[in-house]
Amino acid sequence: MYHTHVLISHFLFSDNPNYTETRSDAVFANNEISLGDIDIYGFDYDYTLALYKPALHSLIYKLGGHALVENLKYPKEILSLDYKEDFAVRGCHYDVRKGLLMKLDSFHNIQLGTVYKGTRQLSDTAVKSLYNGTHVALDDMNSFYGTGPLMYQLVDLFAPPEMILLTNITDFFLDNNIPYDPEYVFHDVRSSVQGVHNSGALHSAIMQDLDTYVDKGNEIKALLESLVQNSKKLFLITNSGFPFVPFRMLDPTTQNESYDRVYRLVQGKVYQQDPSLKSGWRTGAIIPELEKETLIMNSADYHTAVNWLGQLENLIEISQMDKSPETSSIRKQWLDERHELRNYTKSLFNPLFGSIFRTYHNPTYFTRRLARFADLYMSSVVNLMQYSPDHTFYPRRMALPHEPHNMDN
């Protein structure tokens, strides 16, 4: 058994990587979809047509902190706490009552090693004690969005500043022995960050310094012109929330909604509310993090580690049939090596939380939502320019646990 380990390891760590790189400017399919069947394209504004620089997150963090101090009388010292840009990843869940930030997989399991109270990591033993294991009950995540009374997923593109604000305030209270209720702090931070958007303060700050916050380029214009040249109709849509309700026409003069049924969309008119999935719209998600993650996945270090991890897990599983002391000792070494490899691949994406798409072996809850709501996803909407207007996207066939492994290609 040990000699098998040596031979496989030697093969995987040779200088002949046998893998296909993933293009960072590709479009990825969850469902089969033909662009030739699409006559009308609707575009969200933020992070789709309007691309922002990382400085925007620092601005949201700063404005949210000022709102907490000025409106809710939080200690002014929190204004001096630094914005930790690389601390968290999008899609983490926040346990509102326990005040813990963590990453969950698509089956509601907590990824051990990703649970933090402020910047203090909880031990695996502490996590299992708090949750009676690692599974989060369905009742705590029972809404359409996977957000329940106890767990809130910080998933949108403006979520990182909110997570860092929660983390820094928690650290401040703990470091200074200030009693606090995590649930109150969560709702205070949430309302303050949302208020930055709703009050117009954020938009005003952006308009005053476009060069700092807006990533300008001609690619969006080229994409829109290309679609028009191919006889596609275009419209701008805001990212309204659910529940699903029919469109209603809005009078921009009076700001009143029409009581009449909408039978067609007319150029130059404004409509509001969001029936997208209910009406069978095909949807695409913009995931800027894809660009960085695909570059990491294309690295030789990542491929070598993942390939060896898969082979190592096969060896561990097979070796369980042999109960001899020698094999048991080797298997213990393999389990330790597996633990190190899993932490290594995680650290390549983010030292604390890993990839936004995957826990150690399962998809994340973020990935589950992505598959549920988006037919296509890409790092930027301009990636569509890589494809002809009648291109058909086909999802990859992925092997189920009971199917042969050679089917997942």
Q: How far is CA 375 from CA 72, 148, 370, in A?
A: 41, 25, 8
Residue 160's pLDDT band (cuts 50, 70, 90): very high
Per-residue confidence (pLDDT) for residue 145, from 0 to 100: 54
Asked if the model's pLDDT at residue 56 lies above 80, the reply is yes
Kindly tell me the sign of the dihedral angle through the C-alpha atoms of 353, 74, 62, 189: positive
Residue 278 clears pLDDT 50, i.e. is over it: yes
Burial class (CB in 10 A: 0-12, 13-18, 19+), 73: exposed
- pLDDT score, position 281: 82
Q: What is the DSSP string of 352-381?
A: TT--SSBSSSSBBHHHHHHHHH-SEEES-G
Report the pLDDT value the prediction gives residue 243, as an integer from 0 to 100. 28
pLDDT of residue 241: 33
What pLDDT is attached to residue 355? 96
Contacts of 228 (CB under 8 A, 6+ apart): 234
Asked if 81 and 90 touch (Cβ cutoff 8 Å), the reply is no
Model confidence over 238-275: pLDDT tens digits? 543 322 233 444 445 555 555 455 555 566 555 545 54
pLDDT digits (tens, 9 = 90+) for 128-157: 999 999 999 887 876 655 556 788 999 887
What pLDDT score does 246 carry?
38
**How far apart are the C-alpha atoms of 144 and 243, rounded to whole Å?**
9
What does the mean pLDDT of the chain come to? 85
Whether the Cβ atoms of residue 179 and residue 46 lie closer than 8 Å to each other = no
Q: How far is CA 76 from CA 58, 72, 118, 169, 172, in A?
A: 17, 11, 18, 11, 11
Say how many residues make up the chain: 409
Query: DSSP assignment, residue 389?
Result: T
pLDDT score recorded for residue 409: 42
Across the strands, what pairs with 100?
95
Contact residues for 121 (Cβ-Cβ < 8 A; gap 6+): 113, 115, 352
For residue 182, is the peptide bond before it cis, meaning its omega torsion is within 30 degrees of 0?
no
Following CA atoms 30, 33, 38, 42 in sequence, which dihedral angle do they give, to the nearest 10 degrees?
Answer: 0
User: Looking at residue 316, what is its pLDDT?
Assistant: 94
CA–CA distances in Å: residue 318 to residues 224, 328, 331 = 55, 12, 10
The pLDDT tens digits for 82-121 are 999 889 899 999 999 999 999 999 999 999 999 999 999 9
What pLDDT score was predicted for residue 253?
56
The residues annotated with a catalytic role in the active site are 44, 46
Nearest to 379 by CA among 302, 298, 293: 293
pTM metric for this prediction:
0.84
pLDDT tens column, 292-320:
999 999 999 999 999 999 999 999 999 99
The predicted pLDDT at position 239 comes to 46
Enumerate the domain spans of the chain: 2-26+286-407, 39-51+217-281, 55-210
